[in-house]
Chains A and B, each alone.
Chain A
Amino acid sequence: MVNQIKTICGYCGTGCGLIVEVENNIINKIRGDKEAPVNKGQTCVKGAFAFEYVHSKNRLTTPLIRKQGVLVESSWEEALTLIGENLQKIKEKWMPNAISMFACARSTNESNYITQKFMRAVIGSNNIDGCNRT
């Protein structure tokens, strides 16, 4: 069965509305949404065709930790505990401003809100920026 999902393109800032056709959890096709106020059904080559990265075999599917110089697979618990302990240590030894964060201009508003909340409320620093300068 083909599902049709309405969404917004993930590439440039134009904000084109897309209809994503999905079969067996695989994106088959993307077309412009005629109801979308921005693009009225049009798409560019990236929006319509550059989607196979979602299903790429090269996607990261497990956390990785550097051990003896090499990145090795780990559990979420081990990876997050390691990060948490190290951030805490650095925060106590060097103050919160020794930590900095680069947020993601490709991610949702919701994720970006949580990103800066994490930095300000948990780390206690305003060292948060994104690629809006490049």
Chain B
Amino acid sequence: MGSNTTEAHPIIANRMKKAAKQGLKIIVIDPRKTDMAKISHRHLPIEVGSDIALINSIIHVILREKLYDQKWVAHHTDNVRELAIQVEAFTPEYAEAITGISAEDIVATAREYATASRGMIAYTLGITEHHCGVNNVLDIANLALLSGHIGKEGTGIMPLRGQNNVQGAGDMGCLPNMLTGAVSISNDHYRNRFENYWGVEIPSNIGDTQTRTFEKMENGEIKALFVIGENPLVADVHLNHTRKLFDKLELLVVQDIFLTETAKVADVVLPAKSWGEVEGTYINTDRRVQRVRKAVDAHPSTKEDWEILCDLSNIMGYEMKYSNSKEIWDEIRLLAWEQYGGISYERLEACYSIHYPCPSEDHPGTKVLHEHFHQDANSNSEKRKFVPVTYTPPIEQPDKDFPFILTTGRRYESYNTHTQTRYYASGIKIKQKEETVDIHPNDADRLNIEDGEMVEVSSRRGNLQVKAKITEQVAPGLVFMSFHWIEVPTNVLTINEYDPISGTAEFKACAVAIKRL
């Protein structure tokens, strides 16, 4: 769901394609006819932002036709009634009107997923980058739980992670509500463990998300911002607005490997070491801890991220001294032992990767989570809750003035704000060297736009000029752009509406107009 796997996670896509050849049925739910759609058993070209209408309808069919294990569901959950009430209105016919997917396809999908011996749902930002991103994820969880597709190999929910260590950064505690090991900051017992080891008191209140930080920059409550290896000026929605917020800060520090657009407006810029120059570990999308090794010596006046922060910490009167990344990892293993205690550098040398949780050196790691769902059939199982949710349409709908829906994403050869993928090895043939607005042939015909012609794309927040690419990958009425090239700053168009819980912006849907120059 909402995953252009071939372009964003090519190696995962290869494995999916290989499995499809061996009989795996892949259902692709995506507004665009991506490469995955071409190899799929069924493609459901969903209207942007109507995921909950579809999932609720699939749940509706599963409940109506009793395609689930009623005994298992009654044993593990206690509110399937609430779920049934929420999805009652979502008949396949009703969902067809919202999602654009035929009632027949919805029924067939429900039957196939529910009755499969094993079913997995993989999703990416097409699910989360909406004002209702959290509800989208909750509804996926409702569906998986109802079908019992959880806690067994080949089942479960797999969010495909976009950055090499986005899993690890969160797991290490770079979240406003979590300490290292993904335990809540408000858990006194767990927080005390860190307070005792660090010798300081840690505030128990939840901190600010990035989204909240931007809001507090606007009203003047945030005075200083320290940004490591990120280019929020280009990456975040409503770019023209973000730029003004940075001007309000008393201190902006940017630690990076390049003078990014965000670094250019900083008060202090610190030169960091990059991938290939550092030692340590990453955690991948399926919880594998793996070793990253230094390949080349960095420029002598650059420093590793942790070195810079330790130096700064020492200047500010709190001593942090480590001689290498292993010492830091061992502190992590000690404090968050339930997750990483058994994952030593030595073990990683020998066995390449270990899935956490792995509490002790003799523990093999945990490949499949939630196995208890299938192990305690006769015991008194802790009841899990469904979280019924309802459908809310994208905040900005197309209208007379802005008749197209713009959805944004990534392209195969480029990566995020393109600070690194500008530098390909010589001789590599790159297919997409600049941004385009991808538009359906019918729309292009109607507007008299030719392939490769410069057009103006505008939203209520900004406008830009870009080449048109005519392609059937998008549906009529839908256009697609990435945000890789600062020359075409797509995020001047996107809307600053956010999911109230996660703070994730609605990158996937806003209304735009397109005209010839």
Contacts and interface: CB of A to CB of B under 8 A. Distances in A.
Nearest to B165: A105
Contacts of A111: 228, 278, 280, 304-306, 309
Interface in A52-69: 52-56, 58-66
Contacts of B264: 71
A37 B180 CA distance: 26
B296 A22 contact: yes
Given A44-B11, A109-B283, A110-B328, A63 B169 contact: no
Contact of B230 (A55, A82, A104): A104
A103 B264 CA distance: 18
B449 to A, nearest CB: 29
B218 to A, nearest CB: 13
Contacts of A10: 164, 274-276, 292
B180 A116 contact: yes
B352 interface: yes
Contacts of A37: 288, 352-353
A60 B422 contact: no
Given A116-B172, A130-B175, A54 B276 contact: yes
Given A39-B11, A46-B413, A25 B257 contact: no
Interface in B164-208: 164-177, 179-180, 185, 194, 198, 200-203, 205-208
B206 A126 contact: yes
A102 B225 contact: yes
B288 A103 contact: no
Interface in B78-106: none
A40 B6 CA distance: 17
B268 interface: yes
Nearest to B164: A10
Contact of B276 (A27, A39, A86, A112): A27
Contact of A133 (B210, B272, B278): B210
A87 B251 contact: yes
Given A46-B413, A50-B421, A108-B165, A98 B285 contact: no
A2 B165 CA distance: 28
B281 interface: yes
Interface of B: 8-12, 14, 129, 160-177, 179-180, 185, 194, 198, 200-203, 205-211, 213, 216, 221-230, 232, 235-236, 250-251, 253, 256-259, 263-264, 266-272, 274-286, 288-297, 299, 301-306, 308-313, 315-316, 318, 320, 322, 325, 328-329, 331-332, 352-353, 412-413, 415, 419-425, 428, 502-505, 507
9 contacts: A10-B275, A13-B163, A13-B165, A44-B10, A71-B264, A99-B223, A99-B226, A109-B282, A132-B175
Interface of A: 3, 5-17, 20, 22, 25-27, 35-39, 42-47, 49-56, 58-66, 71, 76, 79-84, 86-88, 90, 94, 96-118, 120-122, 124-134
